[in-house]
Amino acid sequence: MDLRIISIGTLAFHPLWGERAPVRTGHATTTLIRDGDRTIIVDPSLPPQVLAARLGERANIVPDQITDVFLTSFRPDVRRAISLFDGANWWIGEVERESVGTALAMRLKTEAELEEQADQEIIEALSEDVGILQRASTAADRLSERISLFPMPGITPGLCGLLIEDPRNTTIICGDAIPTIEHLEQGMILPNAFNVDQARQSMAEAIEIADLLVLGRDNMAINPTKRPF
């Protein structure tokens, strides 16, 4: 088992730093997991050319060596470089796929019905999103022998992390369910949660189980409740 951070993410604005509007380009933490014959990229968020270079820098691999892509959510800035991995299997959690798919289909239908007043740029963007979602499959409970889905709904309806089992540590890739070290240490969630109660419960469950947490917009962190000091 090999787990490494390919790119540390960042929030467009960090509420716990006192920021109330975007001051930077947000992007998600991108993680690489190698388990047996599976090479999995989680949340390919950087622009394609940048992420391709980062894979070489951090893991000495090229995009064609990726066998699987997993999206913790369908947020646009989580999947910027997904087209880089056209030969891989694309996966997303079932609840996220269904909730996003319904909303996309309804919005695309509404825009198309406007006819002369329709915004073609919006229609093209929605059509592209629909195409990505159709290309992505619903992930099974396990991606590999030691990698399980770990549902963390709340920030989005079906946000889903990954639980990595290792003899030494249990690691959870959290996505935006736990975005930064400040959110982890203060027990805070992002302000735009779909369901606040669910989001808080998801964070609590991850903290109860994990030794290590890969944060959605930050680095890997030791669970503060399990630190030896």
User: Considering the entire predicted model, what is its pTM?
Assistant: 0.94
Query: In terms of residue numbers, what domain contains 23?
Result: 2-226
* Higher-pLDDT residue of 182, 112: 182
Q: How many CA atoms lie within 13 A of 98 on its CB side?
A: 8
Return the HEC string of the chain: CEEEEEECCECCCCHHHCCCCCCCCCECCEEEEEECCEEEEECCCCCHHHHHHHHHHHHCCCHHHCCEEEECCCCHHHCCCHHHHCCCEEEECHHHHHHHHHHHHHHHHHHHHCHHHCCHHHHHHHHHHHHHHHHCEECCCEEECCEEEEECCCCCCCCEEEEEECCCCEEEEEECCCCCHHHHHHCCCCCCCCCHHHHHHHHHHHHHHCCEEEECCCCEEECHHHCCC
pLDDT for 16-56, tens place per residue?
Answer: 999 999 999 999 999 999 999 999 999 999 999 999 999 99
Cβ contacts of residue 217 below 8 Å, gap of 6+?
A: 9, 10, 11, 26, 27, 28, 29, 176, 179, 180
Q: How many domains does the chain have?
A: 1
Looking at residue 103, what is its pLDDT?
A: 83
Q: What is the pLDDT of residue 227?
A: 67
Give the type of residue at 119. D
The whole-number average pLDDT for the span 170-178 is 98
Q: What is the pLDDT of residues 68-110, one digit of tens each?
A: 999 999 999 999 999 999 999 999 999 999 999 888 878 777 7
* Of 128, 6, 18, 101, nearest in space to 58 by CA: 6
Q: For position 63, which CATH number holds?
A: 3.60.15.10
